[in-house]
Amino acid sequence: MPGFSLYSNELSIEEKIALAEYLWKKYGTYIAADREIDRLLGLYRKVISRSYELMEKLGVVTVCAICATQVPGGGCCGAGIEDWYDEFVLLLNLLLERKIPTERLGEKDCLFLGPTGCQLFARHHFCINYLCSRITDLLSPAELTALRAQSGKEIFLGWQLERLLRTRLSN
């Protein structure tokens, strides 16, 4: 398989995006033919959709988008967050037929932040799991529990897929 290192901590986000696109172009057909990856991608797509539906229903999407785009110094989606992403989470977006943003909304914003929130479908575990006090104060204990349970499902499936991709592409 690949004749290069799949450890991207020293790469810029632009290089990580390029590496994800390279992996997708070179191995996308091979990855798509893998039954286990295909099965998990189908589940992952559904779980992510459920997460977004729940966040929308609970008002989280609106609060986050307003905070990130209209509150001075607000939002947890600041410049540099994109550096936490590696080629595998980015590759998951390509496998899920999602475009990876390459232009920043504002100079102080995460590269992946758009006018209505994150433009990625598969996200870093911090971006899935973190809830600021604006959100926790908005939600009832039952709503918070439901959201955290859903986030846990998304994180777990993402981890399973990342682990499987790393294994398949390193063999």
Q: With contact defined as beta carbons under 8 Å apart, do 94 and 28 qualify?
A: yes
How many angstroms separate the CA atoms of 35 and 113, rounded? Answer: 32
pLDDT digits (tens, 9 = 90+) for 6-60: 556 689 999 999 999 999 999 999 998 999 999 999 999 999 999 999 999 999 9
Residues contacting residue 146 through CB under 8 Å, at least 6 positions apart: 54
Write down the pLDDT at residue 55: 95
Write down the pLDDT at residue 83: 95
When mean pLDDT is compared across 17-21, 73-77, 163-167, the lowest value belongs to 73-77
Write down the pLDDT at residue 4: 46
* Whether the model pTM is above 0.85: yes
Mean pLDDT confidence for 62-67: 84
Instruction: Name the strand (E) or helix (H) holding 137.
Output: helix 133-138
Write down the pLDDT at residue 69: 75
Instruction: Name the strand (E) or helix (H) holding 118.
Output: strand 117-118
Write down the pLDDT at residue 105: 87
Write down the pLDDT at residue 2: 43
pLDDT digits (tens, 9 = 90+) for 78-108: 889 999 999 999 999 999 999 999 999 888 8
> Within 13 Å, how many C-alpha atoms sit on residue 19's CB side?
22
Q: Which of 131, 127, 130, 129 is nearest to 119 (CA)?
A: 127
Residues contacting residue 8 through CB under 8 Å, at least 6 positions apart: 15, 16, 19, 86, 87
Write down the pLDDT at residue 139: 97
Q: Is the pLDDT of residue 71 over 80?
A: no
- Using pLDDT thresholds of 50, 70 and 90, give the confidence band for residue 74: low
Number of helical H runs and strand E runs in the chain: 7, 2
